[in-house]
Amino acid sequence: MKKILVWDLPVRVGHWLMVGGFILAWLTSESESLRLVHVIAGATVFAVALFRLPWGFIGSRYARFADFVRGPAAVKEYAAGLMKLEPAHHVGHNPAGGWAIVLLLGLGILAGASGWAIYNDVGGHWLEELHEGLAATMLTVVLVHLVGVFTGSVLHGENLVSAMLSGRKNGSPEAAIPSQRPFALLVLLAWVVGAAWWMAN
Amino acid sequence: MRPIPIILLLLLSSASQAETPQQIGQAYAAEAKVTASAQRGEAFFRQRFGQNDKMPGCTSCHTDNPLKAGEHAVTGKSIRPLAVSANADRFSDAAKVEKWFGRNCKEVVGRACSPGEKADFVAYMSEVR
């Protein structure tokens, strides 16, 4: 076992853009003078989540939904292993992490779409309530995700936060992905900038 | 301060929608134990609080004519008129009214608005033509 490349650049940069966007959007949610910052931050989360959908089919091996979206049985088995403090090691996402991704992408897209509608004065007070509810649900999933990342890191003796920065995890050399996918990163960045600019206007 | 009337109204608003501006204004007035004054409400609306550079007063976004559509001082987005005579949806949902007093008072006035100030404001926006 050695450190091998597992997460491509769009996965990693997209992840941290969502982190930054979510935190910033949360901190600016109560302010009208910071409304533009809030909209751009939220649009960043929304744009990354939308990009992640096709990337879940055409991205590198561990970025694909088929690699990490598992049924309830697999999640239960993983959770049972976690309870016994000996969770199965996955080179890519574990089944619980997979569901955190699906939920966060879905919530990010719904929160972004409702936020865009509010910003353009479509819908009434109920839409504001929905938007806030979606964001609060997202925060809850983020907190569960953080507990999972911390637990997984400790139990596997593998720092999953630095893995999401460097892209490298423990695995056998033949399990590595061949490329960082730098061109797709440029597409992601151009898309996020374009979408955020368009949504804030 | 007795927050009971507005809490009752908030409970009521989750059960049924559609309050009238009069009901919402009366709940604030009852809480403040004053009679609402549209004149005081207008003065409050036009006051420059100067707590926030981008939005020193209500008129920064809502213009000095509440019958007209406003324009957000930062985003430039259109804001529908505050006056009930120009926008029948205004002050018809107690939860929404309370939420936006909460946000905007904190940022523009620099503190929470009192129930009396809210009652006056609702009275002015209900009466202005």
* Inter-chain CB proximity A125 and B93 less than 8 Å: yes
pLDDT-derived band of residue A110, with 50, 70 and 90 as boundaries? very high
Mean pLDDT to the nearest integer, A36-56: 98
pLDDT-derived band of residue B7, with 50, 70 and 90 as boundaries? low
**From the CB of residue B76, how many other CB atoms can be counted at a distance below 10 Å?**
9
* C-beta of residue A92 within 8 angstroms of C-beta of residue A6: yes
- pLDDT score, position B111: 97
* CA closest to A33 among chain B residues: B74
* Inter-chain CB proximity A30 and B103 less than 8 Å: yes
- Of A198, A16, A11, A189, the C-alpha closest to A112 is A198
Mark A82-114 as b/e (b = at least 16 C-beta within 10 Å): beeeebebbbbbbbbbbbbbebbbbbbbbbbeb
Tens digits of residue pLDDT in A93-103: 999 889 999 99
* Inter-chain CB proximity A119 and B89 less than 8 Å: no
* Inter-chain CB proximity A125 and B55 less than 8 Å: no
Structural domains in chain A, sorted by start: 2-200 (1.20.950.20)
Residue A168 DSSP code = E
How many angstroms away from the CA of A29 is the closest CA of chain B? Answer: 10
Q: Over chain A, what is the mean pLDDT? A: 95
Structural domains in chain B, sorted by start: 4-127 (1.10.760.10)
Residue A4 DSSP code = E
Task: Quote the CA–CA distance of A186 and A23 in Å, as a whole number.
Answer: 23
ipTM of the complex: 0.82
Which pair of structure tokens corresponds to residue A57?
């089919």
* Inter-chain CB proximity B54 and A31 less than 8 Å: no
Tens digits of residue pLDDT in B13-71: 554 567 999 999 999 999 999 999 999 999 999 999 999 999 999 999 999 999 999 99
Task: Quote the CA–CA distance of A67 and B4 in Å, as a whole number.
Answer: 55
| CA A160 distance to own-chain centroid | 14
Task: Mark out chain A residues that contact chain B at CB-CB < 8 A.
Answer: 30-33, 35-36, 39, 119-121, 124-125, 128, 200
Report pTM: 0.90
For A147, residues 6+ apart whose C-beta sits below 8 A from its C-beta are none
3-state SS assignment for residue B71: strand
